[in-house]
Structure 1
Amino acid sequence: MTTITVRSPRTRRAVWPAYAAAVWSLGYGTLGLSWALGAPGFPWGRSDPDPDGALSILAGLDPTPGGWWIAGFGLVCTVTALALTRMSGRVPLRLTPLFLAWPLAALLAVVIPDSRVMMGLAYTPLLLVAPLAGWSLGGVQLSDAWPWPVLNQLLCVLGGLLLAVGAVAYQRRCRDACAGCGRTDEDGWTSPAAAARWGRVAVYVAVTVPLVYCATRWSWALDIPLGVSKEFLDEGAKDAPGIWLAGAYLATFGAGGGLLTLGLTQRWGEIFPRWIPGLRGRRVPPLLAIVPATLVAIVITVAGLTYIRQSLAGRFLLSEWGAWLPETFWPIWGGALATAALAYHLRRRGRCRRCGRS
């Protein structure tokens, strides 16, 4: 077996995400080891403020043996990330790091986190503005939206993203594609024209899926029991005053995101409209759309998987379908949004400075 280690500056730049993922994995594995040995801060089990363990897939995990499992998991991720920095000369062995990296990245980014990440991101703007506007939110503060167990989930998402970016760079080297743009002489479905076609379909799906959820929450705020019983609405308002207004806020947040998603196929998503002072007529930086769209895609997929787990566990009533069924389609929303963001990137990446392809 021949091991090839390429030392050119371009290759070193291409493998830095894999090295970053290795550092993350080693650090997180060390955290797991410290929790197993009695250090405070274990983010699951009894330390998690989730009252009945209904949200986290790791709700029943304790520091022992949980910390040891995390340490072992960190070791596996470290070895996998380091494998992404090198390529074997034999084709079957080249694929082994990818078979490990993608499942590990998905586990970290979308399986281990839960819907509280979405709730934290959605309510953060409101919690920041409320003190300035003199609004009372029942004593809820920013720290309530981001306790350590939820911040830990963001840390896991970061590790998953680093592994995913490292895997993409590795795939490019396996395909003899450009390390900068991923192009080869045969682009096919990644050509700008093809991306415009399938990206448009993805945008339509991403805009349509959340509308049922929005309709239910707006209806509840108007005291219309769409998908639930009147008793459900009355009990919710009694137990948590203002909860349906908060739901309408989230629905409006989602609808606004859907409107912005249209920009991935519209001219105003590439050139700032005239009504934006100081920016009108200027080119929209692609990352300004791609980064938020990708992060939102991850967050809503995570939230949707949380509702799917809860529904499979029998935590919901079929008669109250409006309270949970629309959310189970969110992974479709997230997948469509990520696909639309990819299409937008492929359309707007322009000529590559490294390979000269366009």
Structure 2
Amino acid sequence: MKSFTSGRYGYAAALWALLYGALGAGWALGMPGFPWGAEDPDPDGQLSILAWTTPGFGWWIVAFSVITAVTALALNRRSANRAPLFLAWPIAALLILVIPDFRVMMGVAYTPLLLVAPAFGWDLGGATLAGAWTWPVLNQLVCALGGLLLAAAALAATRDRERESWFTPERGRIAVYVAVAVPLFYCATRWAWVLGIPLGVSEGFLADAPQGMWLAGAYLATFGACGGVLTLGLTQGWGVIFPRWMIGVRGRRVPPLLAVIPAGFVSIIVTVAGITYIRSMIAGRFSWAEWGAWLPECFWPIWGAALAIATVCYHRRRKSDPRQAEKAQAVLTGDGAGR
């Protein structure tokens, strides 16, 4: 079963690499749609690590894709050689965490607001779904998909004893607390601004921006805080059994992937956004006088890492303990809570 799983993801990652390499060759030969540099219509795209590139960079994409494909296929071989793993993880990290930028997170966070705003007549300054999900942003998701496939193949090829020694329930609980606490720093600043309190910024900073900007910031802060509450479910009984107040599904088991997929995705996008802010800080794009506008975001990689650890621990706990659902149901109903 292990070799089948490893092979499935390995072949999928190799296929992704070959297809993306074909795109790179097409861009280098003049095909439109190169997603970086001058081809990126969003000024924020200049925060991308590839903002300096031109379509000729496509040949480097071809070379990178070939290396990725070879690495993915090498993970399928039954061999004691660990070299493919040492190459696979950096490639996966590059595709998942380095190439994307914070616009992926902004698109995910603002999509619900953009969907309901027309029904209530809210003015979002001309923001639209099409503007949030341009091809350069969608391309970042494509790159992240390739990285996730390669990471899955590498994880499947890793020996069981190497995977099980670290992701314990105790570490999972600590990671959950960290993942809940870190975004509250950001939330505090945005909630303060919408109330007119210049926390971390000057009074002029608040006065010069439209009120809608602070309402959007408060929305994002509330979005993050609600996510923090849901994160608690990774260590609570209601993360295993739907609680009684959830009509229609109460008392049923929570499918593990219903928690793992969203939490894993959020851990990636907040980490990417935080890395983008850190790069901007190092580049000197921010002012310490307005630290509230950017410093909280620089801690997001800690948030993302903690959420990722908590998610893996939750997944392994659900997988290793088949009676966990029964125990959680007993605790939630008050029947045999001490078992």
TM-score (norm. length: structure 1): 0.86
User: Are positions 1:228 and 2:219 aligned together?
Assistant: no
Q: How does 1:89-104 map to 2 (within 5 A)?
A: 91=80, 94-104=81-91
Alignment match, 1:339: 309
User: Are positions 1:87 and 2:62 aligned together?
Assistant: no
User: Are positions 1:325 and 2:295 aligned together?
Assistant: yes
Of 9, 23, 28, which residue of structure 1 is paired with 2:15? Answer: 23
SS in 2 for 1:39: coil
SS in 2 for 1:203: helix
- Contact 1:54 / 1:310 at 8 angstroms: preserved in 2? no
Q: Which amino acid aligns with 2:20?
A: Y
Instruction: Give per-residue Cα distances to partners, 1:34-79, cap 9 Å, x unaligned.
Output: 0000000000011112326542111111101x11111111111111
Aligned alpha-carbon RMSD (Å): 1.7
Instruction: Give per-residue Cα distances to partners, 1:193-248, cap 9 Å, x unaligned.
Output: xx2211110000000001110000011111111000011112222xxx51111011
Of 99, 112, 115, which residue of structure 2 is paired with 1:125? Answer: 112
Alignment match, 1:217: 190
- Contact 1:53 / 1:60 at 8 angstroms: preserved in 2? no
Q: How does 1:128-277 map to 2 (within 5 A)?
A: 128-171=115-158, 175=159, 177=160, 187-190=164-167, 195-237=168-210, 241-277=211-247
Q: Distance in 2 between matches of 1:279 and 1:44?
A: 45
SS in 2 for 1:87: coil
- Contact 1:104 / 1:160 at 8 angstroms: preserved in 2? yes
Q: Which amino acid aligns with 2:269?
A: V
Query: In the superposition, relative to structure 1, how do residues 202 and 156 fare at CA in structure 2: closer, same or farther (>3 Å)?
Result: same
User: Are positions 1:313 and 2:283 aligned together?
Assistant: yes
Identity of aligned pairs, percent? Answer: 65
Q: Which structure 1 segments of 5+ residues have no match? A: 1-8, 178-182, 353-358
SS in 2 for 1:35: helix
- Contact 1:21 / 1:162 at 8 angstroms: preserved in 2? yes
- Contact 1:227 / 1:321 at 8 angstroms: preserved in 2? yes
Query: In the superposition, relative to structure 1, how do residues 207 and 10 fare at CA in structure 2: closer, same or farther (>3 Å)?
Result: closer
Which structure has more helix as a fraction of its residues? 2
Alignment match, 1:6: none
TM-score (norm. length: structure 2): 0.91
Instruction: Give per-residue Cα distances to partners, 1:235-286, cap 9 Å, x unaligned.
Output: 222xxx5111101100000000001001111111111111111111111111
Alignment match, 2:331: none
